[in-house]
């Protein structure tokens, strides 16, 4: 049976921010051929030789699109009608897909998604001047109910939801098939409790984090108008509804330039929870970073640490010590470097009694003041999306560890840093795509490098 042609009525409401007179106007649809996926969740087409980025489509499809925004080097467009659908197209599992900005690939099967990500990763590396190995290994797991953390906002009626795909509008949600069920249960209960309390100055956003088996939960509420008394009432009422709630925090925020600045914090209950991963009970405190995919935490740790042993290892951007604690079993000494205050106590706790030691510092100052006699056998780096940057890569070249493992959540900055490290004498031994974020364009990459 021929696939039904999906309609995208919501696209008709959009108008381009600025469109050159020579380009089609928003009221006119243009037929384009979708070529391939690109990093960011959209797919590439071409119109009069110009690149057009179209979400919610698939390679090989013919699509009528409306130009939403025209830029010098490319246009962005909304799909209006799928004229010829790709055989890979499926019905999304979530009723909010398309309007919600959280997922990008639910209209494709999981094997197709993995192929997209391999292609995007290879192309991004090679465009950045890095020759990708012939084989990019893939580590994947169950693609649903994997998230152990979500962050939601509230609409004017107090309903919890995510930000929209093309705006900051809040899309109320009834379900989220990529999140651990406990998180949505807590979000729904939280909204009901706020209405009961008549909390007019309810939080602007709220986040929930649970352990792997959903037996423990932490909550964080963000608001410009803190009311500690109401916060405590809300936390106690939420614990009655969700007994796995271990702790909560209220974070007061105020605008500071283009960002929000924390102006006060209040806590209730425990500051953290225990998360069993890779054979260890990790303490993870409220606000601390921890890997989001509860099905693949162990596999990621193994991918980073397996087959490494020696006298000294450095774990830079260590978080709560996810890699450092495992490395402490195979190295005589492990130095875990982390600057985030939310991770400090947990990092020290998780390394207590092992060969690891916590250093509370930013990575760049740590490398600048390193001692000449410190010669690690292994360096693990897991930087934020901005990557390492030129000075850190240069200093790592001076350190000259024989083995280096780079864990990246952004292929563009990964390519930039790998090119620099290769210029400093490192060579790529393997590249592994660890799919921590199914149904989305996000991908995690583990690169094993050797020097000499």
**CATH class of the region 149-273:** mainly beta
Question: Nearest to residue 337, comparing CAs of 298, 309, 369, 306?
Answer: 369
CATH architecture of the domain formed by 122-141+293-451: 3-Layer(aba) Sandwich (3.40)
149-273: same fold as 9-84? Answer: yes
**Is 236's pLDDT higher than 70?**
yes
Q: Distance (Å, rounded) from C-alpha 445 to C-alpha 130?
A: 14
Contact 341, 320 (CB under 8 A): no
Q: Distance (Å, rounded) from C-alpha 329 to C-alpha 350?
A: 13
In percent, how much of the chain has pLDDT > 90?
Answer: 84
Q: Distance (Å, rounded) from C-alpha 342 to C-alpha 430?
A: 33
Q: Please compute, for residue 213, the number of CA atoms within 13 A of its CA located in the half-sphere on the CB side.
A: 6
Predicted local confidence at residue 77, as pLDDT: 96
What is the mean predicted confidence (pLDDT) over 341-355? 97
Predicted local confidence at residue 22, as pLDDT: 41
**Is 343's pLDDT higher than 90?**
yes
**Is 17's pLDDT higher than 60?**
no
Q: Distance (Å, rounded) from C-alpha 353 to C-alpha 297?
A: 23
pTM reported for the whole predicted model: 0.91
Residues 125-144: pLDDT tens digits?
Answer: 999 999 999 999 999 999 99
Residues 158-180: pLDDT tens digits?
Answer: 899 999 998 889 999 999 999 99
Alpha helix segments (H runs only) across 128-172: none
Compare 9 and 95 and report the one with higher pLDDT.
Answer: 95
Predicted local confidence at residue 9, as pLDDT: 37
In percent, how much of the chain has pLDDT > 70?
Answer: 93
The SS3 of residue 371 is: coil
What is the mean predicted confidence (pLDDT) over 406-410? 98
What is the mean predicted confidence (pLDDT) over 64-80? 95
Predicted local confidence at residue 15, as pLDDT: 32
Predicted local confidence at residue 261, as pLDDT: 78
What is the mean predicted confidence (pLDDT) over 321-327? 98
Compare 346 and 202 and report the one with higher pLDDT.
Answer: 346
Predicted local confidence at residue 201, as pLDDT: 66
Q: Distance (Å, rounded) from C-alpha 115 to C-alpha 138?
A: 10
Predicted local confidence at residue 104, as pLDDT: 98
Residues 189-232: pLDDT tens digits?
Answer: 999 999 998 776 678 899 999 999 999 999 999 998 888 899 99
The residue to which tokens 């069920």 are assigned: 181
What is the mean predicted confidence (pLDDT) over 56-79? 96
Name the residues annotated as catalytic. Answer: 409
**Is 3's pLDDT higher than 70?**
no
Handedness of CA 27, 32, 37, 38 (dihedral sign): negative
Q: Distance (Å, rounded) from C-alpha 199 to C-alpha 192?
A: 11
**Is 449's pLDDT higher than 50?**
yes
Question: Nearest to residue 386, comparing CAs of 366, 368, 364, 408?
Answer: 408
Sorted by where each begins, the domain ranges of the chain are 9-84, 122-141+293-451, 149-273
pLDDT class of 254 with cuts at 50, 70, 90:
confident
* Mean pLDDT estimate for the chain: 92
CATH architecture of the domain formed by 9-84: Beta Barrel (2.40)
- The DSSP code for 92 is -
pLDDT class of 270 with cuts at 50, 70, 90:
very high
240 pairs with which residues across the strands? none
Joined tokens for residue 71: 């830029």
Predicted local confidence at residue 189, as pLDDT: 96
Compare 2 and 51 and report the one with higher pLDDT.
Answer: 51
DSSP string, 437-448: STTSS--EEEEE
**Is 10's pLDDT higher than 90?**
no
The residue to which tokens 């010829």 are assigned: 84
Predicted local confidence at residue 18, as pLDDT: 35
């Amino acid at each position: 049976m021929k696939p039904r042609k999906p309609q995208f009525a919501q696209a008709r409401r959009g108008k381009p921010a600025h469109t050159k007179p020579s380009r089609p106007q928003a009221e006119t649809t243009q037929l384009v051929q979708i070529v391939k996926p690109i990093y960011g969740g959209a797919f590439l087409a071409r119109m009069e030789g110009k690149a057009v980025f179209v979400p919610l489509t698939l390679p090989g499809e013919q699509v009528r699109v409306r130009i939403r925004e025209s830029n010098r080097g490319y246009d962005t467009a909304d799909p209006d009608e799928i004229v010829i659908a790709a055989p890979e197209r499926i019905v999304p599992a979530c009723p909010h897909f398309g309007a919600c900005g959280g997922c990008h690939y639910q209209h494709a099967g999981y094997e197709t998604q993995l192929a997209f990500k391999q292609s995007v990763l290879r192309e991004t590396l090679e465009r950045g001047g890095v020759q990708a190995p012939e084989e990019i290994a893939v580590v994947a797991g169950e693609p649903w109910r994997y998230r152990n953390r979500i962050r939601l906002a509230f609409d004017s009626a107090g309903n919890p939801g995510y930000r929209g795909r093309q705006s900051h509008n809040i899309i109320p949600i009834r379900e989220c098939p990529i999140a651990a069920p406990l998180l949505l249960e807590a979000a729904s209960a939280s909204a009901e409790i706020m209405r009961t309390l008549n909390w007019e100055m309810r939080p602007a956003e709220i986040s929930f984090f649970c352990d792997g088996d959903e037996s423990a939960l932490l909550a964080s509420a963000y608001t410009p108008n803190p009311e500690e008394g109401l916060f405590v009432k809300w936390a106690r009422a939420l614990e009655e509804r969700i007994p796995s709630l271990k702790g909560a925090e209220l974070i007061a925020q105020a605008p500071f330039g283009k960002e929000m600045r924390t102006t006060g914090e209040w806590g209730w209950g425990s500051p953290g929870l225990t998360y069993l991963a890779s054979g260890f009970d990790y303490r993870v405190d409220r606000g601390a970073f921890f890997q989001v995919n509860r099905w693949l935490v162990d596999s990621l740790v193994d991918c980073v640490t397996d087959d490494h042993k020696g006298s000294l290892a450095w774990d830079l951007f260590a978080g709560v010590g996810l890699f450092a604690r495992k490395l402490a079993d195979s190295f005589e000494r492990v130095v875990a470097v982390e600057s985030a205050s939310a991770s400090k106590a947990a990092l020290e706790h998780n390394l207590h009694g092992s060969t690891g030691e916590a250093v509370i510092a930013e990575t760049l100052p740590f490398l600048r003041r390193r001692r000449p006699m410190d010669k690690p056998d292994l360096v693990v780096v897991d930087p934020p999306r901005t990557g390492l940057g030129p000075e850190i890569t240069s200093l790592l070249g001076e350190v000259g560890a024989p083995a280096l493992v780079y864990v990246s959540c952004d292929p563009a900055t990964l390519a930039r840093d790998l090119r620099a490290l290769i210029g400093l004498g490192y060579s790529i031994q393997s590249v592994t795509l660890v799919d921590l974020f199914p149904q989305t364009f996000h991908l995690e990459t583990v690169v094993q490098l050797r020097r000499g």
